[in-house]
Structure 1
Amino acid sequence: MGGARLKDVAERAGVSIKTVSNVVRGEIRVAEPTRTRVLRAIDELDYRPNASARHLRTGRSGVIGLAVPELVQPYFAELATAVIEAARAHGVAVLVEDTGGDPEAELRVARGLSDPLVDGVLISPSRLDQAALVRGPRRVPLVLLGERDFEVPADHVLIDNVSAAREATEHLLARGCRRIAALGFQTSATRHTTSQQRARGYLTALRAAGLAYDPALTPPVRGFARAEGQAVTRGLLALPEPPDAVFCFSDLLASGAVRAAYDAGVRVPGELAVVGFDDIEETRFCVPSLTTVAPDKAQLARLAVDALLTRVTGDPEAPHTTIHASHRLIPRESTS
């Protein structure tokens, strides 16, 4: 049914026009059964709110922006899907932008300059110049996603990477591994906070187990890609004393590590246990299935969207907060 009106949705759902409006705007809590009924009626009637009219009436468009460094990366694709789902529950649309990790593009998005209609911005930055962001004006509220350390006046939603990496390393220690390599250390020129925090958790676990740090087991990587994991693991397996386990700072690095082991005739997990990070979908279906740290991406998305919409509809000057989402280690065949 084309051209459905708010009144049509209200009649189909058996509620008032005001209730439908509240569900669409996501500004007032509506009982879950009622909200579900309204959303079903919206889908059935293919109702589309008039964004231009709403923008003129309220000063808000009902659209938020999400910027990620590489949408082609499975983690960011899955995170974007979770953000879209979380925003939909508030009747809000999401404009997704791939910045390519370009600092100028990230700065433009963070200032709310990439699209004049967005009410606020979520950004998972890669190389954002925080000093430039602090110096310049911001048009809309901003919420940061991810593990970078920022001194920016904005809410920040993340997981505890140090704790997560420590748990991953402790899992390998409990399995009896003692020469545990780590893939994800980066050079000083390319080092990001994600790498630093996961390295800290890895080193903390080794120290607690009484094991000395061996730099030969932490060769630097240029990025968190499959090919990089494969290439670096080949070097590790060629060492006079190769590792008996590898903790990878991303599932893509771990995928490459497993391939390198296969090419070298090294059994996983018999001769080399492998742990990844991110719990992307392919980890459940690769052979062997991959033990990984799973950030709660749905919770990350909900917390970020809620924080942003609170800024959009509430007090933009309220104290900013750091909000932690949960994570868990999922043991699978690559360490069992």
Structure 2
Amino acid sequence: MPPSRSERSAPTLHDVARAAGVSFKTVSNVLNDHPQVRDTTRAKVLAAVEELGYRPNLTARNLRLGRSGVIALAVPELSQAFFAQLADEVIRVAAEQGLVVLVEQTGGSRDRELEVLRNPRLALTDGLLLVPLGLTRGDVPTDWAPSSPLVVLGERLFPGPVDHVTMRHEAAARAATEHLLALGRRRVMLLGAHEDETSSVAGLRHAGYAAALAAAGVGLDASLVIPVETWDRPSGATAMARALDAGRRPDAVFAMNDDLALGALRSLQERGLSVPGDVALVGFDDVPDGRFSYPSLTTVEPGRHEVARLAVRLLGERIAEGARPAADPRVVAPEFRLVPRESTRL
């Protein structure tokens, strides 16, 4: 009886090269996703990999390259659904590339985010994915350069060889508000504003809301712009309740995120207002709970999977470049889509 695959020695890159009828270097290029490989050659190599059951020795590769195979992800709060989902996406995409993810929570604090950037523990990782909330452009000196590869998931904050993966906040917020206006609603409340912010996520979404109103010839009513500092469900419920109790009567609400929207939905229903009959409601982020609320929540899906995929890929490229970054800073933003559900569907 011939030995089983588990009893034989593990196949090597040279075995794959012989089976595919190509060079060792070609196999290496395919496995490292090098763009300068013909599709037919790539298919032949991958077929040989599958046939032989080849699995790369990641530990040996990382030791050879002086890497740990670990990247860090710093997010504000895992208790917020969007950041939990984003972390899940990043971990999944990184695992496909043989990477382990160390997750840090910053609480959205400026000081904590700065601490993460200089944390000596991160020297044990190959690079950092940072989701900042507290940091502003003024916190980062113009001559600052990261000590290790860094990709920011958010608006452009950092100079130098730092890539940014962002979202189309203003355009998406405008689309959400236009959706409400197209339903004939004219008293559209903005829930979650941050006063005196223009370049932040809140500021950009506020700008998109205002632009949609202006384009429709609807005046901006300052009494319908409701500040909420923390974008969670209790804050959304409290802010909505106070606005209604103060006599503010919207016929639609654009909430800056789904957690705010779900909190607002509770307060609207507690006061006997029907959604969407009396008040149409739109959120942002497309968290799973929005599909199962009653009514289900119309929302913006901001391209979260693509954000995670791009962020891990860009960080991997920066890690491969080593101490001498070859590419100029890149800012990329995947497409969003509006997801209509029952909260705006009469």
* TM-score band w.r.t. shorter chain: 0.7 to 0.9
Q: 1:278 aligns with which of 272, 282, 285?
A: 285
SS of the residue aligned with 1:114? helix
The aligned residue for residue 195 of structure 2 is 187
User: Compared with structure 1, are the counterparts of its residues 253 and 20 closer, same or farther at alpha carbon in structure 2 (3 Å cutoff)?
Assistant: farther
Distance 1:245 1:287 in 2: 17
**Contact 2:144 2:159 survives alignment (8 Å):** no
**Contact 2:298 2:343 survives alignment (8 Å):** yes
RMSD between superposed Cα atoms in Å: 3.2
Q: 1:324 aligns with which of 324, 333, 337?
A: 333
**Contact 1:64 1:119 survives alignment (8 Å):** yes
**Contact 2:168 2:302 survives alignment (8 Å):** no
Residue 155 (1) aligns with residue 163 (2): yes
Amino acid at match of 2:341: R
User: Compared with structure 1, are the counterparts of its residues 164 and 37 closer, same or farther at alpha carbon in structure 2 (3 Å cutoff)?
Assistant: farther
**Contact 2:17 2:45 survives alignment (8 Å):** no
Distance 2:95 2:44 in 1: 16
Matches within 5 A, 1:64-75: 64-75=71-82
Task: Work out the percentage of aligned pairs sharing the same amino acid.
Answer: 41
Amino acid at match of 1:321: R
Q: Offset of 1:160 from its aligned partner?
A: 1.1
Residue 310 (1) aligns with residue 321 (2): no
The aligned residue for residue 117 of structure 2 is 110
Q: Offset of 1:139 from its aligned partner?
A: 2.2
Q: Offset of 1:99 from its aligned partner?
A: 1.7
Distance 1:132 1:156 in 2: 16
User: Compared with structure 1, are the counterparts of its residues 39 and 104 closer, same or farther at alpha carbon in structure 2 (3 Å cutoff)?
Assistant: farther
Q: Deviations over 1:127-147 (max 9, x none)?
A: 13655544655321111102x
Q: What stretches of structure 2 of length at least 5 have no aligned partner?
A: 1-5, 19-23
Residue 8 (1) aligns with residue 10 (2): yes
Q: Offset of 1:59 from its aligned partner?
A: 1.6
Q: 2:149 aligns with which of 141, 163, 174?
A: 141
Distance 1:83 1:309 in 2: 12
Distance 2:8 2:280 in 1: 57
Distance 1:103 1:41 in 2: 51
Matches within 5 A, 1:18-29: 26=32, 28=34
Q: How many residues get paired?
A: 324
Matches within 5 A, 1:1-336: 8=10, 15=16, 26=32, 28=34, 31=42, 51=59, 53-111=60-118, 113-128=120-135, 130-131=137-138, 133-134=140-141, 138-146=146-154, 148-153=155-160, 154-188=162-196, 193-240=200-247, 242-314=249-321, 316-336=325-345
User: Compared with structure 1, are the counterparts of its residues 230 and 310 closer, same or farther at alpha carbon in structure 2 (3 Å cutoff)?
Assistant: same
| Structure (1 or 2) with the larger CA radius of gyration | 2
Distance 1:5 1:192 in 2: 60
User: Compared with structure 1, are the counterparts of its residues 21 and 172 closer, same or farther at alpha carbon in structure 2 (3 Å cutoff)?
Assistant: same
TM-score by length of 1: 0.85
User: Compared with structure 1, are the counterparts of its residues 241 and 82 closer, same or farther at alpha carbon in structure 2 (3 Å cutoff)?
Assistant: closer
User: Compared with structure 1, are the counterparts of its residues 78 and 180 closer, same or farther at alpha carbon in structure 2 (3 Å cutoff)?
Assistant: same
**Contact 2:156 2:331 survives alignment (8 Å):** no
The aligned residue for residue 21 of structure 2 is none
Q: Deviations over 1:65-110 (max 9, x none)?
A: 1110111211011111111122222222211111222333322333
SS of the residue aligned with 1:184? strand
Q: Offset of 1:174 from its aligned partner?
A: 0.3
**Contact 1:168 1:275 survives alignment (8 Å):** yes
Distance 1:247 1:58 in 2: 49
**Contact 2:190 2:224 survives alignment (8 Å):** yes
Q: Offset of 1:235 from its aligned partner?
A: 2.5
SS of the residue aligned with 2:134? coil
Q: Deviations over 1:1-51 (max 9, x none)?
A: xxx99953659xx84697997788x46479479669969998xx9x89564
Amino acid at match of 1:76: F
Distance 1:40 1:287 in 2: 50
Q: What stretches of structure 1 of length at least 5 have no aligned partner?
A: none
TM-score by length of 2: 0.82
Q: Deviations over 1:203-262 (max 9, x none)?
A: 000011111111110121121011111111112323545000000000000001100011
Distance 1:176 1:77 in 2: 35
**Contact 2:58 2:98 survives alignment (8 Å):** no
**Contact 2:223 2:248 survives alignment (8 Å):** no
**Contact 1:185 1:191 survives alignment (8 Å):** no
User: Compared with structure 1, are the counterparts of its residues 10 and 224 closer, same or farther at alpha carbon in structure 2 (3 Å cutoff)?
Assistant: same
Mean alpha-carbon deviation: is it higher for 63-72 or for 172-181? 63-72
